[in-house]
Chains A and B, each alone.
Chain A
């Protein structure tokens, strides 16, 4: 990607808000990237596929010049994250909101027990989040302000037959976010856990028996609303909360026999 020039100075009475979205090249993340820019944030988007990412970034900058920044990055490249974090923050001139959205869910057969796939999900979905959010936590703690969001999943609420590796990566992410929230709320820093249901993205292709599917744009709006109003745990859409309460309460001896 070409050199990016930051417009980092605000006019004192017109403060800018600034955000980072990790996993911004497609699906929900790309929609968040665009929606944040629409709401007036300076936003940096990160992802591996630079072509897709740059396309989203350029689309934003066409209508809102100078609003969006793109950084090619693989979150499993853990060692590079501290430097990259400070580079991105410098480029956009500060940080008010960070959204960790990167996630993978390779398809797994019902009889497949594949450590490589499981590990990939833990690396991206969980360790990637830890690597990025711990950087943000340090900074927010030091500066006394900031908000972070992790995109987990309803899939983290229960271990299921389809993809135990995905379930556990999201369950661990949910617990990690809860722990961060308990640590940071007392210091004025907010942590929001998002648990989407079905969203119409590449990840859903090939998934069986979906229902109540919403668009990435709708998901993005709900996610940012939740962050801006400082919510703690939000299902997207909200009615998933009820479904998951029911699912969580199905006794194991029945749940084992179900095919959900």
Chain B
């Protein structure tokens, strides 16, 4: 063990907490704003036998950006927009630029990020590292599909450029590679042309899971976004009754006021919901519903109001892109409603032919174990050509579970049982949402071959395993910690 130097002093120690708040570990946190500073930290970490994890907006639900007692590099300060061509829609940005920054920058020129997550607080680097998806995944693929090129800082301090033409293997592994092959410093993206700041939205209710899936399947060809909010607490034939949302872009010339609707101000959501309650205290009013009975009441109310409003046929309205995609960002602290121990998300991706059976099994199993999930969101996907991939020609179900100190062991057991259901149906998982997988689960859905290729690339680009995270150690390299020797 080398001597500690002043670099790793206690005043850099911070708790690094999973977005869902259910887990936390302490690390030495640094916030570089230039590549030189980044390189200095790499050198210091290496000299002190410390490993490094990268953190973007910190929106991963589990332990992807935490690194217990080691170094965490928060990249939010590397957030400059470097080049923008409003003709081609090609933009080059630093990795810490957020989706929020991005859309505000380009909207006035008639562009929109082709893939957006349910929160705009994610960074471009974090989206590339997890290869995120939106409500248009079956059509537009994943975030990586819209990255043209990136610069990656390797463990040895060198920068390597990768694209589909140059270093294609690295390109397809670093995207989705959860920060284990190097640090994205800049990324070049191709954005999506739009012709209005508004979307056509269709809301409809469906009586059960099968109906919700059919709704999506029938509209794949003539929709731009599709998503279902399912009630996993109802039983029997109403299992998975749903509120569906379908979004469609405006055609060129269709919005006579496009100049106005594409202004940033037009997108923003007003400060109170329903005009009465201040948004910042919404979580307080939501809290009473975060128990089993309350949950059923809310879900039932939601279903019937959607039904009254739109019926199974659907009703049409218009919504700004921001309101459609980032509603949750406008309910500050909504996750506080889950209480002190936070929440985890469990997201399963299952091929079309098995999805209905798998999700039915999952919902009934959760009910049987007395651990219903509080929010279930269903989306449609397609396979992609990145190495660490969750893509399937099928559906995903994302389920939020409230964590309490008492239910932790039960949740551990439940998620293991759910893993088996998903694997049995040839399903996959997504690291950005994971807090519960075991190495054998990852081996089962990715396959030994893929894991070996990824680990070979790790040896090539980071032979000393300088880049590690709690997730990496949990799932891929259970014993890759540096050895510790005693001293006096």
Contact = CB atoms under 8 A, between A and B. Distances in A.
Interface of A: 1, 3-15, 70-74, 77, 80, 82-84, 86-87, 89-91, 93-94, 138-139, 142-145
A10 B23 contact: yes
A14 B408 CA distance: 7
Contact of A11 (B13, B14, B15, B474): B474
Nearest to B468: A9
A139 B484 contact: no
B223 interface: no
A239 B479 CA distance: 48
Interface in B462-488: 470, 473-474, 478-479, 481, 483-488
A31 to B, nearest CB: 22
B488 A4 contact: no
A87 B483 contact: no
A9 B68 contact: yes
Given A5-B479, A5-B483, A13 B408 contact: yes
Contacts of A14: 408, 412
B56 interface: no
5 contacts: A4-B484, A11-B436, A13-B22, A15-B23, A72-B488
B69 interface: yes
A94 B62 CA distance: 18
Interface of B: 1, 3-4, 8, 10-11, 13-15, 18, 22-23, 25-26, 62-63, 68-70, 344, 403, 408, 411-412, 435-436, 470, 473-474, 478-479, 481, 483-488
A139 B474 CA distance: 25
Given A15-B23, A83-B4, A4 B68 contact: no
Given A6-B481, A9-B68, A138-B10, A1 B486 contact: yes
B487 A94 contact: no
Given A5-B481, A12-B470, 15 more contacts: A3-B484, A8-B69, A9-B470, A11-B474, A12-B344, A13-B23, A72-B486, A72-B488, A82-B4, A89-B69, A90-B70, A138-B10, A139-B10, A142-B10, A143-B13
A59 B474 CA distance: 27
Given A9-B68, A15-B23, A91-B484, A143 B408 contact: no
A10 B13 CA distance: 18
Given A71-B487, A73-B488, A139-B10, A10 B4 contact: no
A6 B484 contact: yes
Contacts of B4: 82-83, 86-87
A93 B50 CA distance: 12
A110 B11 CA distance: 49
Nearest to B484: A91
A97 to B, nearest CB: 14
Contacts of A80: 487-488
Nearest to A77: B488
A80 B483 CA distance: 20
Contacts, number: 104
Contact of B18 (A3, A4, A12): A12
- 4 pairs of A and B residues whose beta carbons are closest in the complex: A12-B23, A9-B473, A12-B435, A91-B484
A120 B186 CA distance: 60
Contact of B486 (A4, A11, A94, A139): A4
A60 to B, nearest CB: 16
Contacts of A12: 18, 22-23, 62-63, 344, 435-436, 470
A20 to B, nearest CB: 13
Contacts of B15: 143-145
Contacts of B478: 9
B470 A74 contact: no
Contacts of A89: 69
B341 to A, nearest CB: 10
Contacts of A94: 25-26, 68-69
Contact of A90 (B18, B474, B484, B488): B484
Contacts of B470: 9-10, 12
Contacts of B435: 12-13
Contact of B69 (A1, A71, A73, A90): A90
Interface centre among A7, A13, A84, A91 (most CB of B within 10 A): A13
Contacts of B436: 11-13
A91 B481 CA distance: 9
Contacts of B412: 11, 13-14
Contacts of B3: 83
A122 B26 CA distance: 34
A82 B8 CA distance: 12
Contacts of B11: 142
Contacts of A86: 4, 8
A93 B474 CA distance: 14
Interface centre among A12, A80, A86, A144 (most CB of B within 10 A): A12
A3 B15 CA distance: 28
A7 B481 CA distance: 7
Contacts of B488: 71-74, 77, 80, 84
Contacts of B25: 10, 93-94
Contact of A71 (B18, B70, B408, B486): B486
B320 to A, nearest CB: 35
